[in-house]
Structure 1
Amino acid sequence: MPPKSLMIPVRPWKCLQCRTFSATTSNRRLGPEYPDYIPIPQPPQQTLPDRPFIKGRLPVPRDVFAGAEGRDKASPEWLDPHTRPRNKSTRVKAGSREEWKVKISDMRRQNLREGLVSLKARRETEQHALKTRSDRNQRERQEALTRPEREDERLTTPSHGLDLDHLFHGYIPGSPGVRPDPTRDERIARMRANVAARAEAARAERASHVNTLYMNARHFIVNPQQLNAAVDEAFGTTENPVMFGDPHSSMANRENAASVWANGKPDRVQDMLNRANHVGGKYAVEGAAGYSVINSERIRRIAEVFTGGKLENANEARR
């Protein structure tokens, strides 16, 4: 019988760039509803483990030295009668149950004696440490209460050093104390003048704000009719909408002028500088025409300063 040929399974070829060498699940394999679909960094406080919850309640440890009727359970007077060894005269058979009971009784007596002695020693150690810590705290507190004032605190204390009687009742000639300040009346008058000036400036500012509000109130929209009129003025009506192109041009050209770009490209920074410096014929004419607008605005501001109130703008008055 001819030997069988060894068949080696052929694996499908895979691009090296498409292979993955990580066992971590890619985010592309997760759905959008998965919380880690979009990785968001979290602050360290939210990733700290919570305190483990301990089920149940530990019982209150009882006092093993209570109930001795004033006697110390760790003293020989109490331990000797309770841990008295057995009588040696009683013989037991080796390997019997009685021998096992004897060994258990001896071990119980030894554990009772050693446990009470060790518990008393630990109790005394804890009480001594507690008393030492309490005495130290009391001593530090008493030292802090009776400690003298530090030099830096004394030098930085906001002490006034004034005579309160002179401060509240005035200076009496012939009485000991600090003489009054000779410039006191002048300083008080200057401070009163400053307070009055600030109050007058606040009153004038408030009056100017009220006048400005009164002048601007005529353009406030307070009813639906005024709102409709303002909308029609800004956007036009359905039959006659506002166009950005030439209103005298044909309707075909006006239909293409529904955008602000129908007026041409916006001015460049160089065009603005040329207009401001009156460079070129076109910009020179525009600059000359702009002088009248600037002068009228300056005259209006000067008139507002002289009259002390807000005046209406010329462009707003023509509307």
Structure 2
Amino acid sequence: MEAFPSSICRACRLRLLKPSQNRAFSTSPAHMYIPPESPVFVDVPEPLQSLRDRPAPAKGVLPVPRELFPARRPDKPGKEYLANVTRDPLPKNVLPPEKLTEIGKYKRRMADLRKSYLRDGLKELYSRKRSVDSQLAHNSALRRQETARLAAQPEREDERLTKISVPSAMQPQKPLQLSPEEELAIYNTRKAAHEARLAAKHEDRLDKLHTLYMNARSFITTKDQLAAALDATFTTTRSIWRTGKPDTVEEMIRRGRDRTADQGRGGLMLASDVNERALRDQERMQKIAEKLSGGKI
């Protein structure tokens, strides 16, 4: 099949490719012009521009490159580091050239070549890193300067004349500018408050430690003490009503209505009030003694 330029339309191309209407010499039936296996058997419109096959996307993710000059190794690649990584063999281990075979000479040349490549490569990479870092720092400084200049530049006159009126109270306020003396005074005040909080925490810890030490005398540490405590708590034949009947609701209300007065309601002094006041006075005296002695009693 003869090929025609792509500038000819598809209909014209098919018409030009159409076989001649002259009578064939043979008596066998003529074949169809477009067989089923032909690409143009099905009329599919084609775009004016040719389709290009896109390359397949690369699968996988490249690893993060290793940092050759980390901050924890400031000596890299100094002379001492290069001397250590490209160390020459000891003189006693070096054979003279006349005693080396061809393979030995080849290995020695390759070792010297690898050492020289390592030294030159590290130096070149370090110089490239320094140049890149300096360029990045320079660009960053330029951006910071430009940002500061744009932030500090005055408002344009056309914007000032055409902007919406905003009350002064709603406009953004500039941060408070403090003098060095005022900043030092604020720092000293906050430092003193912080030290006071730490001291209070320390005193509280000491008080809790002393309380724990004083209460340790009643801790149960052995099986015998645990058995004695269980027997004293659960093994008893005494009735809970032997000490008297429980207080009624009226008595509890009368006792709690005025706890600061010496007498209760109607001038009546109850026995339970006397006992409660005595216990409360005892607790207060114990707290006063603990405060004066500075420890738990």
Would you call these one fold, judging by a TM-score over 0.5? Answer: no
The TM-score normalised by the length of structure 1 is 0.35
